[in-house]
């Protein structure tokens, strides 16, 4: 039933393809269109070719925010992936306690993103928030609205709080898929706990980890709502990440041509990094 | 997954229990603080975790009941929070049902049928999905503005627009369901067809019942995504009585006047529907994630 090409299948695929095209392809084409024109009003636009791209690539403001974005995504991955694996290993394996852990862990994922930002905004304040207040009480001068380091720490902590549970849940489901026989064999060989982790659990987790790393990279690279609500990008522009720079440019300053050129560069970076990562993983697979 | 239990098991189990408890405490602490703020009188976030004078002020305002304090002053509810909650639930339910139906049928086509351009369509949809959604805000705003001149229920400031905009994020769901369909042996359906079932019957009575776990997972993920969506809804919706709860809750926080208490009550309320759906469906989740994500 699957050997003969059956173009009736297009009827099933077409509605979805149209919807995805509508919400992704049309905006993409609009952005491409904007990126090569200088727009003054509804009826006055001039073709400027690659001028915006050249300007955007030399813009120091954008370079700085791109740099911050890479540092942020790298930090997020370095903290959340190992922590998520650790938590998944610690989770009770079955029964009521297992379900309870699952539900409690999932709670941060169930909160609207802007509320997450606001929760941490309250939590970190020195005068009224418990976290900020507690840090100040034990003698650490903590102020996320004034100090760059503190702002970064708070944004990172918020992201770890928000998304580590996702990594943990994915890893947990991966661990559950390992057949019992693997552990029995390891026991017979008197394998150490580390050896079990290194040679049984980690390799079997690989496909889940690929998904987790890709998801976390893409999400953290496009992060917008949470830092925007928490710090508004400040102090100065120290926690202004790429999407916020872009939104300010497009909606705040109506600098649409520059913003469009920049968003295409942004899109290409996301694609490139994801592709590199994906190729690296599949390449490793083949070598084995 | 039962862990092997070697020699020093007891301490190790104890340590991992303690580690787990610490992590859960860290996760829960900020949330407990918000719940506690919502029961504290006045709009302050200071004070101990357990409010000394618990007050239902913010909750009654959030539920739309005017609140009378001890001195007899009546506060009117500032915003229609229940209406916002209803808007959020309406949008989330409609769009997640649509997402589920559409992505199931097209995943079926991708998993079980061969047709021209299949690989290309699958890959290109995934690539479109990597386009940062924030970047398409401006374009979508202009687009819905134009459409609204012709189709009134799809224009700016309508829930139709938010639902259609949320349908664009379907590619990931299609990939998830397709992966699951691929893992189901197709000889079952072939046997049914040999017995005289139509393709539709084979799909409806054999493949669908076998795929319930992954369909639940997709439904929950879609529900969560749409009910929490902020940037798109905040740009498309304007009128106070059209807002979703995620957008509306932000209205409590002005530059000059932060109504922490009212905000906290609305925030807790906005988490409730998702938590209920999640609690009801969680038994399917781990199974679905495992089956969809891990093969071989």
Give A224-277 pLDDT, tens digit per residue. 878 888 887 777 777 888 888 877 777 777 777 788 888 888 888 888 888 888
> Mean of the pLDDT values across residues A112-117?
79
pLDDT given for residue B256 in this prediction: 56
d(CA B293, CA A93): 19
Q: Is the four-CA dihedral A157, A158, A163, A165 of positive or negative sign?
A: positive
- A188 touching chain B per CB within 8 A: no
Q: Which domains does chain A show, CATH number per domain?
A: 46-283 (1.10.3720.10)
Closest among B213, B222, B190, B5 to B99, alpha carbons compared: B222
Which pLDDT belongs to residue B32? 82
Pairing of strands A37-41, A44-47: antiparallel
Per-residue confidence (pLDDT) for residue B162, from 0 to 100: 87
CB contact under 8 A, B1 and A263: no
Q: Comparing A11-25, A42-56, A223-237, which segment has the lowest mean pLDDT? A: A42-56
- Distance separating alpha carbons of residues B274 and B287, to the nearest angstrom: 19
Which residues in B lie closer than 8 A to residue A246 (C-beta atoms)? Answer: 134-135
How many other CB atoms sit within 10 Å of the CB of residue B153? 10
- In this structure, of A161-170, A185-194, B57-66, the range with the lowest mean pLDDT score is B57-66
Q: What is the pLDDT of residue B296?
A: 36
β-pairing, A44-47 vs B74-75, is unpaired
Residue A174 has pLDDT above 90, yes or no: no
Task: With CB atoms and an 8 Å threshold, state whether A172 touches B169.
Answer: no
CB A257 within 8 A of CB A37: yes
Rounded CA-CA distance A23/B137 in Å is 10
Chain B CB within 8 Å of residue A268 CB: no
pLDDT band at A43 (very low <50, low <70, confident <90, very high): low
Nearest alpha carbon to residue A93 among B17, B221, B220, B293: B17
Q: Name chain B contacts of A165, Cβ cutoff 8 Å.
A: 27
The tens place of each residue's pLDDT in chain B, 296 residues long, gives: 445 555 567 787 788 888 888 888 888 888 888 888 888 776 555 555 566 667 777 787 777 777 776 666 777 777 788 888 899 889 999 999 999 999 999 888 888 888 878 888 888 877 777 776 666 777 788 788 888 888 878 877 888 888 888 887 788 788 878 877 887 788 888 888 899 888 888 888 888 888 887 788 788 888 888 888 887 888 888 888 888 888 887 777 765 566 777 788 888 887 787 778 777 777 676 665 555 444 43
| pLDDT score at B287 | 60
A residues 47-76 near B, CB within 8 Å?
A: none
Cα radius of gyration rounded to whole Å, chain B: 24
Question: In sequence order, what are the residues at sequence separation of 6 or more whose Cβ sits closer than 8 angstroms to the Cβ of residue A42?
Answer: none
Minimum-distance CB partner of B134 among A2, A89, A246 = A246
Confidence of residue A160 (pLDDT cuts 50, 70, 90): very high
Between residues B239 and A39, which one has the greater pLDDT?
Answer: B239
Contact B102 A90 (CB under 8 A): no
Shortest alpha-carbon distance between residue B134 and chain A (Å) = 7
Burial (CB count within 10 angstroms: exposed 0-12, middle 13-18, buried 19+), residue A260: buried
pLDDT at A74 over 90: yes
**Rounded CA gap, A248 and A233, in Å?**
11
Instruction: Say what the pLDDT of residue A1 is.
Output: 46
Q: Let me know: does B89 contact B273? Beta carbons within 8 Å.
A: yes
Give the closest-approach CA distance of B71 to chain A in angstroms: 26
With CB atoms and an 8 Å threshold, state whether A196 touches B4.
yes
Q: What is the 3-state secondary structure (H, E, C) of chain B?
A: CCCCCCCCHHHHHHHHHHHHHHHHHHHHHHHHHHHHHHCECCCCCCCCCCCCCECCHHHHHHCCCCEECCCCCEECCCCCHHHHHHHHHHHHHHHHHHHHHHHHHHHHHHHHCECCCHHHHHHHHHHHHCCCHHHHHHHHHHHHHHHHCCCHHHCCCCHHHHHHHHHHHHHHHHHHHHHHHHHCCCHHHHHHHHCCCCHHHHHHHHHHHHCHHHHHHHHHHHHHHHHHCCHHHHHHCCCHHHCCHHHHHHHHECCCCECHHHHHHHHHHHHHHHHHHHHHHHHHHHHHHHHHHCCC
Q: Please indicate if any CB of chain B lies within 8 Å of the CB of A107.
A: yes
Give the percent of chain A with pLDDT over 90.
Answer: 7
pLDDT at residue B48, rounded to an integer: 57
Cβ distance A94 to A181 under 8 Å?
no
Residue of B nearest to A219 (CA): B132
Q: Is B230's CB within 8 Å of A107's CB?
A: no
- Whether A31 contacts chain B with CB within 8 A: yes
Q: What is the ipTM of this complex?
A: 0.72
Distance CA A184, CA A59 (A): 59
CB contact at 8 A, A8 and B116 = no
Say how many C-beta atoms besides its own lie within 10 A of residue B151's C-beta: 12
Task: Give me Rg for the CA atoms of chain A.
Answer: 23
Which residues in B lie closer than 8 A to residue A99 (C-beta atoms)? 282-283
Tell me how many residue pairs between chain A and chain B have CB atoms under 8 A apart. Answer: 281
Exposure b/e, B104-122, CB count within 10 A at least 16 = b: bbbbbbbbbbebeebeebb
A186 in contact with B at a CB cutoff of 8 Å?
Answer: yes
Whole-model pTM? 0.79
Distance of residue B216 Cα from the nearest chain A Cα, in angstroms: 15
Q: Is the pLDDT of residue A58 over 50?
A: yes
Reply yes or no on whether the pLDDT at A200 is more than 50.
yes
With 90 as the cut, is the pLDDT of residue A75 above it? yes
């Amino acid at each position: 039933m699957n050997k003969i090409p059956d173009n009736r299948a297009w009827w099933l695929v077409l509605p979805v393809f149209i919807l995805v095209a509508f919400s992704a392809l049309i905006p993409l084409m609009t952005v491409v269109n904007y990126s090569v024109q200088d727009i003054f009003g509804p009826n006055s636009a001039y073709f400027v070719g690659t001028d915006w791209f050249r300007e955007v690539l030399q813009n120091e403001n954008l370079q700085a925010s791109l740099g911050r974005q890479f540092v942020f995504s790298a930090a997020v991955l370095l903290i959340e992936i190992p922590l998520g694996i650790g938590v998944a290993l610690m989770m009770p394996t079955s029964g009521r306690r297992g379900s309870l852990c699952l539900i409690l862990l999932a709670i941060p994922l169930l909160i609207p993103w802007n509320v997450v930002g606001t929760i941490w905004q309250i939590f970190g304040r020195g005068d009224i928030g418990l976290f900020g207040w507690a840090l100040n009480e034990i003698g650490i001068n903590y102020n996320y609205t004034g100090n760059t380091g503190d702002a970064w720490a708070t944004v990172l902590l918020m992201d770890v709080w928000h998304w580590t549970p996702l990594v943990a849940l994915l890893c947990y489901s991966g661990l559950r898929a390992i057949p019992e026989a693997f552990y029995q064999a390891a026991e017979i060989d008197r394998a150490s706990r580390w050896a079990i982790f290194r040679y049984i659990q980690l390799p079997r987790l690989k496909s889940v980890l690929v998904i987790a790393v890709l998801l976390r990279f893409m999400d953290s690279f496009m992060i917008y709502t949470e830092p925007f609500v928490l710090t508004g990008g400040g102090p100065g522009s120290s926690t202004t990440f790429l999407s916020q720079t872009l939104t300010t440019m497009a909606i705040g300053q109506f600098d649409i041509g520059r913003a469009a050129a920049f968003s295409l560069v942004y899109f290409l970076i996301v694609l490139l990094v994801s592709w590199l990562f994906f190729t690296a993983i599949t390449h490793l697979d083949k070598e084995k | 997954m039962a862990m092997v239990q070697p020699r020093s098991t007891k301490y190790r189990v104890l340590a991992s229990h303690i580690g787990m408890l610490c992590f859960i405490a860290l996760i829960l602490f900020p949330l407990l603080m918000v719940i506690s703020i919502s029961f504290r009188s006045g709009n302050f976030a200071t004070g101990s975790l357990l409010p000394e004078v618990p007050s239902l002020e913010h909750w009654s305002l959030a539920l739309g009941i005017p609140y009378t304090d001890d001195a007899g002053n009546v506060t009117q509810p500032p915003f229609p929070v229940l209406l916002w909650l209803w808007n959020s639930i309406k949008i989330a339910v409609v769009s997640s049902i649509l997402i589920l139906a559409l992505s199931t049928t097209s995943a079926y086509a991708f998993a079980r049928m061969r047709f021209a351009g299949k690989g290309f369509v699958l890959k290109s949809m995934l690539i479109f999905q990597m386009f940062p959604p924030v970047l398409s805000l401006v374009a979508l705003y202009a687009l819905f503005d134009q459409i609204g001149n012709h189709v009134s229920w799809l224009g700016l400031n309508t829930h139709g627009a938010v639902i259609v905009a949320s349908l664009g994020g379907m590619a990931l769901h299609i990939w998830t369901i397709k992966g699951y369909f691929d893992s189901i042996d197709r000889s079952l359906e072939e046997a049914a067809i040999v017995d005289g079932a139509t393709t539709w019957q084979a799909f409806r009575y054999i493949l669908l019942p076998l795929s319930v776990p992954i369909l639940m997972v997709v439904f929950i993920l879609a529900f969560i995504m749409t009910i929490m969506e902020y940037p798109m809804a905040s740009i498309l919706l304007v009128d106070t009585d059209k807002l979703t709860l995620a957008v509306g809750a932000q209205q409590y926080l002005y530059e000059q006047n932060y109504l922490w208490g009212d905000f906290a009550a609305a925030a807790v309320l906005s988490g409730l529907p998702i938590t209920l759906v999640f609690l009801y469906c969680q038994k399917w989740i781990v199974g679905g994630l495992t089956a969809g994500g891990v093969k071989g």
